[in-house]
Amino acid sequence: MVKDRKIPVKIGDTVKIISGSEKNKTGEIIKLYPKNGKLLIKGINFKFKHMKPNKDNEIGDIKQIEAPIHHSNVKLISKLS
């Protein structure tokens, strides 16, 4: 049984990244993942996803998606009131 972790921020709060390759950038939280303690922040931590073509007429694609960041790597700047 996995317990939900206590995350001190909520959706809509503005946070600053304090470690990693995106250090000192700020962004707004758009999604929480309480089971693994991660956050999805708008405009931060982009990763590339290589998509295979599924059908004969489709072509492959490389998409850029936002990846979640652990809540210990962010600092709360301002709360959504």
Q: Write down all domains in the chain, each with its CATH number in brackets.
A: 14-78 (2.30.30.30)
Higher pLDDT, 3 or 44: 44
Quick: pLDDT tens for 6-61.
Answer: 888 999 999 999 999 999 999 999 999 988 899 999 999 999 999 988 888 888 89
pTM: 0.79
Would you list the DSSP string of the chain? -PPPP--S--TT-EEEE-SSTTTT-EEEEEEEETTTTEEEETT--EEEEEEPP-SSS---EEEEEEPPEEGGGEEEEE---
